[in-house]
Amino acid sequence: MAAVPRAKARLSEALAQGQALKVDQLKRLFGEDGIEILKLGTSKWIPADQLLEWLYGDGQGARMLSHLEVPGGATPRGGGDSPGGKSARTEKDIEAWLFSEGFHEKFGMLMEMSKTDEALAEYRAMAKDLAEEFQDKVANPTAEAFIEQLCVEKILQGALFVGHVKTDLDSIAGAIGGACLWQGTATRAEMDLNGEIMYALKWAGLEPPPFFDDHPGAAKPDAAGKLLPVCLVDHNEDKQMVPSLRDAPDRKKRIIGLIDHHALAESMASEKPLFMDVRPWGSMSSIVTHAFIRGNRMIPKAIARILLAAILSDTLNLQSVTTTNADRFLVTVLCILGECDDPDELARKMFRAKTEWIVGLGAGAGSALFGNGCYEHFFVPGSNGHANRLGAYEMTRGDQKDFTANGWKVGIAVLEVTDTEPVLKVADELLMELRILKVEKGQLKNGQHDRRKELDFAYLFVVDVTQQLSYLLVAGGRELALAKSAFPEKPLREAKPGLKAPGNTIRAEETLMEVGGLVSRKAQFVPAFFAALNGGFSCHKEPNSTISEELAGIKEEDEVHAAIDALQKESFHDSVQVVRDYTRFREALDAS
């Protein structure tokens, strides 16, 4: 039976490549063992239900699943139909069924809609109408758009658009989008670009903009002896400006525009009036997208894609506390214009690329997971040794999904790295963010709160992709009880030396579980929790879903929840990451 894990891995790879699910192909992939395990006999085609059970089940579900039909599925390559006219299923078909209402009805497990899914569901029809109307108006601008083009766009024409140092995707996309709209030139503030930026640029089909100092007319006069005007994007503080501009004696004269979504710095000043578009939205790229639409300007597919990627990045796939309805709606519009069918998958791959670059490979080198499922490594010339820091807030939300089983709601975040040490160094902050995330999930778009939507459990799996080992961060007593039930006999220890436990429901030496060779959320983590929650799990507290409607809108009044409220209000984005002060929350946990 030792061949089983290898067989599963090879089968998953084959499914990902869209191969038909035929017995003879399985034999070529991994011999007779897989056929024996699947108990296919002489059948020509693999029953999708048995395949699902073999990939994701515990060996007992084949009999339970034998009477079910897996809906949907792509026609197998090479033509031909499976018995009964059913087509072979791809991995995506199986995943869709695994987290569908039908599966939930039969087995009590369901993947919750992501924030992006919710936005697409709410705004897709309106966004589709707008996109169609928008394309008509491009040829025949409205009076308002004509005024916008005449009175506003000319101001920035020919300017250099540049983002901030500690360069992120929003500052790059904003510069590219702004330069496209206002007929200027996009530049970047640093030579060093992280893995997320490189992944997004490749996905959009764009090249990195030139380094600001290297462009004629930026740091030095151009061939005509002139220095070009500048529009700042995604920043306005002196210390965030590209140094050659920040230190230039004529800086206040050269800066003619500012497009940003951050608070204005006290040092921000100009000698003459300048164009400003500063909005309290989750991404600067949302502002640029809005400007395209306002001016009836066509957004090319590549530009739509890079703006979409940037909004997803800056809002953590629409999960950040800084996300607004403007971001949600404009993501929906850009998905249509950029022809992106799965923004969740895009956000996940960008986050993985950024994480790999920052945590694993360091400055100057990078790694991005491209469409073929493989990491592609790259080197950015001229690296200055600086790498963006990935904060605990981002780590717990960048690749995070929610599931319900038997009334319980479980949040599972995954962080895939080549080196776990830098992650576990901030384990104390990660554990606090997991505690905060549970309550944060109850926040509604309209500003109200619904306790029934809060998570009962929140976990972060840190996956070492080199060693193929996982470590589970355990933030509280409920999480510990479920983790022990889902992963029995797995060893526990401190998440980091000298760690102080996050509250009184768990000891420091119970905050990290060594899960071992389980590395897949879909194929291993979710089924383990599913089996535990549907196998009679109970703890001292009932599921949040059982809270009455009358009480659901009344937030718990204690110092822990008051500290979370204060933390949410005081959190801000500093052009690189969400900044949090955990002091009050830590004290509240200690006193609870």
Residue 98 or residue 244, greater confidence: 244
Q: How confident is the model at residue 371 (pLDDT cuts 50, 70, 90)?
A: very low
Segment 353-370 mean pLDDT: 53
Closest to 440 measured CA to CA, from 427, 429, 428, 453: 453
What lies within 8 Å, CB to CB, of 457 at 6+ separation is 408, 409, 410, 411, 438, 478, 479, 482
Question: For position 444, what pLDDT does the model report?
Answer: 82
In degrees and rounded to multiples of 5, residue 415 shows phi and psi of: -125, 110
pLDDT digits (tens, 9 = 90+) for 506-556: 999 999 999 999 888 877 888 888 888 888 888 888 888 888 888 888 878
For residue 52, is pLDDT > 80?
no
73 C-beta neighbours (distance < 10 Å), count: 19
Residues 6+ away with beta carbon under 8 Å from 18: 74, 77, 90
Domain with CATH 3.10.310.20 in the chain: 389-591
- Superfamily the domain 389-591 falls into: DHHA2 domain (3.10.310.20)
Q: What's the confidence (pLDDT) of residue 230?
A: 96
Q: How many CB atoms lie within 10 A of CB 342?
A: 13
Q: 189-222 burial string, b = 16+ CB within 10 Å, else e?
A: bbbbbbbbbbbbbbbbebebbebbbebebbbeee
187 closest CA partner among 198, 178, 195: 178
What CATH topology corresponds to 116-346?
inorganic pyrophosphatase (n-terminal core) (3.90.1640)
Q: Residue 307 pLDDT more than 60?
A: yes
Is the pLDDT confidence value at 100 over 60? no
Quote the pLDDT of residue 380: 31
Q: In whole angstroms, how far apart are CA 568 and each of 388, 439, 581?
A: 23, 11, 10
20 Rama sector, left if φ>0, alpha if ψ -120 to 50, beta otherwise = beta
Quick one: pLDDT band at residue 102, thresholds 50, 70, 90? low
Residue 51: per-residue pLDDT: 52
How, if at all, do strands 255-260 and 230-233 pair? Answer: parallel
Laid out side by side, the sheet with 230-233 consists of: 185-187, 160-162, 230-233, 255-260, 275-278
Q: Work out the pLDDT band at 18, boundaries 50, 70, 90.
A: very low
Q: What is the pLDDT of residues 477-499, one digit of tens each?
A: 999 999 999 999 999 999 999 99
Percent above pLDDT 90 for the chain: 37
Where in the chain are all domains bearing CATH 3.90.1640.10? Answer: 116-346
* Rounded distance between C-alpha atoms, residue 520 and residue 526, angstroms: 8
Q: What is the pLDDT of residue 478?
A: 93
Q: Is the pLDDT of residue 306 over 80?
A: yes
Handedness of CA 551, 557, 560, 563 (dihedral sign): positive
Compute the average pLDDT of residues 385-410.
Answer: 78
pTM > 0.85: yes or no = no
Amino acid at 243: P
C-alpha span between 452 and 133 (Å, rounded): 39
For 220-230, how does the pLDDT look when each residue is reduced to its tens digit (9 = 90+)?
Answer: 998 999 999 99
Residue 580 · residue 393 · CB < 8 Å: yes
Q: Residue 411: beta bridge partners?
A: 402, 458
Average pLDDT along the chain: 78
311: exposed, middle or buried (Cβ count in 10 Å: 0-12, 13-18, 19+)? buried
Most confident of 72-76, 87-91, 224-228, 471-475: 471-475
Residue 404, pLDDT above cutoff 70 = yes
Return the bridge partners of 452, or none. none
Helix pair angle (559-570, 583-591), 10° resolution: 170
Task: From residue 201, give the alpha-carbon distance in Å to each of 306, 333, 494.
Answer: 7, 19, 40
Per-residue pLDDT averaged across 355-380, rounded?
42
